[in-house]
C-alpha cells in the first residue's frame, strides 16, 4: 500500500487541495483531505492529480497504427499512455469486411489483456458524401450479419451512418449486443438522427466533423445529438477541427457529463511533419495538421489527450469540466465503471499535471508508467 500526497486533485467533489490518495494493489483504497506523513507516503509535490484520460476514438500514435496488428497496437497504446491516456478504444478505419474482421481477431487478445479497453469500428458503413478521409471505394451499406459475427471480438463501439439502407436495424443489433452505437460520417437530417437515437445511438462521433453542417432550418444530426440527454458527443479539441468558441459552447450547452474529448489521433502523432499513411491513404502532416495528400479533407489529428485538455482549458472551459470530459464521461459512456474518477474502489489510473497542465507522471492500475523527466520530454 502506498499513499500519494498531492497539492491538488480533481475528485468527484471538484478541485480540492491537500489530498492523500491511498493505493492498494492497483485500486484506490481511500481519498482523504490533509497531507499525510509516514514511510509509505510519496509526496508528489505541487501537482494536480486527475483521473487517467479515456480516449474513445484514436487510430494510432508514435508512428504506429492500431490497424497494423498487435505489436503496433501495443506500441501505439504505450505512446498515448505517456500522455496520460490510461484507457483507449483502438479505432479501426474503413477497410474491406475481411480485413476488418481479421484486425478484430488479431487485436482481441489485447482487449482481453486490458492493453486496449476495446475496439471501435469507424466504417465502412459510412455515407460517402461525409466520408472525410475514409476511402470511398470501401464504403457500403451496413451488413447486420457481418456485424454480429465480429462484435464479440472485443468491439465496444461502432460508428455508422443511420440513413443508409439497414442503418437502423444495425443500430438495434449493435445495441442489443451491448456495444455502443455511434452516429458519424453521416448526412442524416435532424429527424433521421432523432430516429437513430431512438433506435439506440448513444454517441455522436466527432460532433460537427463528418456531418451535415447545422442550418437554422435544418439543424441536422448535430443538434439532435446535442439535445438528447442520453447521448455523449465526441469533440476533437485540437483548435483545427472545431473553433474554440464552438467547443466551449457545446460544453456549456450539453454539460461536461455529456462531452467526451477525443484525439482521433493517427500514427503520425508524435512524429515530424511529412507524409504518413492512414488506412491506405496518403496523409500529409503540416505544422501538426493531418490532411489527405490532395488537401481534400482533414485526416484525423496529431493530438494527444494532454494537449486536448490544455486546448480545452485555453478555450475558457473550466478546468474541472475539461477533466470530466477527458476522463469521467468517456469512461461512463463505455461502461468502464471501474475507472474515470479519483474515488475509493476504482482503478488507480492517475495523471499528475504540473501548474501548466503538462504531464509529470502517469499511473495505470497502480503502476507508475512515466517518470517525470521522460514525460517532460514527450509532452
Ligand atoms: Zn476517426
Do 122 and 178 fall into the same domain?
A: yes
- Counting the structural domains of the chain, the total is 2
pLDDT tens digits, 73-118? 999 999 999 999 999 999 999 999 999 999 999 999 999 999 999 9
CA of 259 to the centre of ligand 1 (A): 16
Out of 55, 187, 228, 264, the active site residue is 264
Return the C-alpha cell found at 208.
Answer: 460537427
150 CB-contact burial (10 Å; exposed 0-12 / middle 13-18 / buried 19+) = buried
Question: If you measure from the C-alpha of residue 109 to the centroid of ligand 1, how many angstroms do you get, rounded to a whole number?
Answer: 22
Domain that holds residue 46: 2-50+342-378
What's the pLDDT score for residue 376?
A: 43
What's the per-residue H, E or C state across the chain? CEEEEEEEEEECCEEEEEEEEEEECCEEEEEEECCCCCCCEEECCCCEEEECEEEEEECEECCEEHHHCHHHHHHHHHHHHCCCEEEEEEEEECCCHHHHHHHHHHHHHHHHCCCCCEEEEECCCCCHHHCCCCCHHHCCCCCHHHHHHHCCCCEEEEEECCCCCCHHHHHHHHHHCCCEEEECCECCCHHHHHHHHHHCEEEECCCCCCECCCECCECHHHHHHHHCCCCEEEEECCCCCCCHHHHHHHHHHHCHHHEEEECCECCCCCCCCEEEEECCEEEEEECCEEEECCCCCECCECCCHHHHHHHHHHCCCCHHHHHHHHHHHHHHHCCCCCCCCCCCCCECCEEEECCCCCEEEEEECCEECCCHHHHHHHC
231 in the same domain as 252? yes
**What percent of the chain stands above pLDDT 70?**
97
Q: Average pLDDT of the chain?
A: 94
Percent of the chain with pLDDT over 90: 86
Identify the pLDDT of residue 375.
Answer: 42
Q: 323 and 349 share a domain?
A: no
**Per-residue model confidence as pLDDT tens digits over 11-31:** 999 999 999 999 999 999 999
CATH at residue 277: 3.20.20.140
In a shared domain, residues 276 and 367:
no
C-alpha cell at 316: 475558457
What's the pLDDT tens digit per position in 234-250? 999 999 999 999 999 99
Q: What is the pLDDT of residue 371?
A: 58
Residues 264 and 366 in one domain: no
Grade residue 372 by pLDDT with cuts at 50, 70 and 90: very low
pLDDT reported for residue 341: 98
Q: Cα of 134 to ligand 1 centre, how many Å?
A: 9
Model pTM? 0.95
Asked if 264 is an active-site residue, the reply is yes
CB 226 within 8 A of CB 233: yes
- Minimum mean pLDDT range among 36-45, 135-144, 149-158, 319-328: 36-45
Q: In whole angstroms, how far apart are CA 57 and each of 122, 150, 300, 303, 329?
A: 9, 19, 10, 11, 13
Task: Using pLDDT thresholds of 50, 70 and 90, give the confidence band for residue 38.
Answer: confident
How do residues 196-229 score in pLDDT, each as one tens digit? Answer: 999 999 999 999 999 999 999 999 999 999 999 9
How far, in Å, from the CA of 39 to the mean position of ligand 1? 46
Q: What is the pLDDT at residue 379?
A: 37
The CATH number of the domain where 17 resides is what? 2.30.40.10
pLDDT at 345: 98
In a shared domain, residues 180 and 168: yes
CA pair distance 265, 91, nearest whole angstrom: 9
Does 37 have pLDDT greater than 90? Answer: no
Distance 294 CA to ligand 1 centre (A): 19
Cell numbers of 5, please? 500526497
Instruction: Name the grid cell of 175.
Output: 445495441
Report residue 182: phi and psi, to 5°: -120, 140
Residues 204 and 350 in one domain: no
Of 116, 126, 70, 72, the C-alpha closest to 94 is 126
The answer to whether residue 135 scores a pLDDT higher than 50 is: yes
Cα–ligand 1 centroid distance for 7 (angstroms): 36
- The reported pLDDT for the residue numbered 163 is 98
Q: Are 108 and 200 contained in the same domain?
A: yes
**What does the alpha-carbon distance between residue 161 and residue 212 come to, in Å, rounded to a whole number?**
11
Q: Is 32 left (phi over 0), alpha (psi -120 to 50) or beta?
A: beta
pLDDT digits (tens, 9 = 90+) for 188-197: 999 999 999 9
Region 126-136: what's the mean pLDDT? 93
Residue 374 has pLDDT above 80, yes or no: no
134 with 37, same domain: the answer is no
Could you tell me which of 31, 41, 32, 14 has the C-alpha nearest to residue 344? 31
44 & 182 share domain: no
374, exposed or middle or buried, with CB in 10 Å at 0-12, 13-18, 19+? middle
Pair (31, 140) in one structural domain: no
* Interval between CA 3 and ligand 1 midpoint (Å): 38
CA of residue 264 to ligand 1 center, whole Å? 5
Angle at 193 between CA 155 and CA 158, to 5 degrees: 10
Let me know whether 24 and 103 are in one domain. no
Amino acid at each position: 500500500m502506498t499513499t500519494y500526497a498531492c497539492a491538488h486533485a480533481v475528485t468527484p467533489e471538484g478541485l480540492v487541495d491537500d489530498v492523500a490518495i491511498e493505493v492498494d494493489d492497483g485500486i484506490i483504497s481511500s481519498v482523504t483531505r490533509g497531507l499525510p506523513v509516514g514511510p509509505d507516503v510519496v509526496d508528489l509535490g505541487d501537482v494536480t492529480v486527475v483521473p487517467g484520460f479515456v480516449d474513445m476514438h484514436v487510430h494510432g500514435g508514435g508512428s504506429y497504427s492500431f490497424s497494423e496488428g498487435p505489436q503496433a497496437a501495443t506500441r501505439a497504446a504505450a505512446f498515448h499512455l505517456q500522455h496520460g491516456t490510461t484507457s483507449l478504444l483502438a479505432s479501426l478505419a474503413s477497410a474491406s469486411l475481411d480485413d476488418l474482421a481479421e484486425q478484430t481477431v488479431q487485436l482481441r487478445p489485447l482487449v482481453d489483456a486490458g492493453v486496449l479497453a476495446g475496439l471501435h469500428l469507424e466504417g465502412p458503413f459510412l455515407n460517402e458524401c461525409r466520408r472525410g478521409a475514409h476511402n470511398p471505394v470501401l464504403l457500403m451499406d451496413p451488413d447486420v450479419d457481418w456485424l454480429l459475427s465480429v462484435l464479440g471480438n472485443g468491439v465496444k463501439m461502432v460508428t455508422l451512418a443511420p440513413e443508409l439502407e439497414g442503418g437502423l436495424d444495425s443500430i438495434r443489433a449493435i445495441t442489443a449486443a451491448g456495444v455502443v452505437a455511434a452516429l458519424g460520417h453521416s448526412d442524416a437530417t435532424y429527424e433521421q438522427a432523432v430516429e437513430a437515437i431512438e433506435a439506440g445511438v448513444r454517441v455522436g462521433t466527432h460532433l460537427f466533423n463528418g456531418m451535415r453542417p447545422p442550418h437554422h432550418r435544418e439543424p441536422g444530426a448535430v443538434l439532435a445529438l446535442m439535445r438528447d440527454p442520453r447521448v455523449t458527443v465526441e469533440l476533437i479539441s485540437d483548435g483545427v477541427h472545431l473553433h474554440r468558441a464552438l467547443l466551449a459552447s457545446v460544453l456549456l450547452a450539453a454539460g461536461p457529463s455529456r462531452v467526451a474529448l477525443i484525439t482521433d489521433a493517427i500514427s503520425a502523432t508524435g512524429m515530424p511533419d511529412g507524409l504518413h499513411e492512414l488506412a491506405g491513404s496518403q496523409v500529409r502532416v503540416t505544422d501538426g495538421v493531418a490532411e489527405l495528400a490532395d488537401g481534400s479533407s482533414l485526416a484525423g489529428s496529431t493530438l494527444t489527450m494532454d494537449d486536448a485538455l490544455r486546448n480545452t482549458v485555453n478555450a475558457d472551459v473550466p478546468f474541472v469540466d475539461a477533466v470530466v470530459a477527458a476522463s469521467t464521461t468517456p469512461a461512463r459512456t463505455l461502461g468502464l465503471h471501474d475507472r474515470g474518477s479519483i474515488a475509493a474502489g476504482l482503478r488507480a489510473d492517475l495523471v499528475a499535471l504540473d501548474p501548466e497542465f503538462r504531464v509529470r507522471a502517469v499511473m495505470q492500475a497502480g503502476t507508475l508508467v512515466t517518470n517525470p523527466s521522460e514525460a517532460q520530454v514527450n509532452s
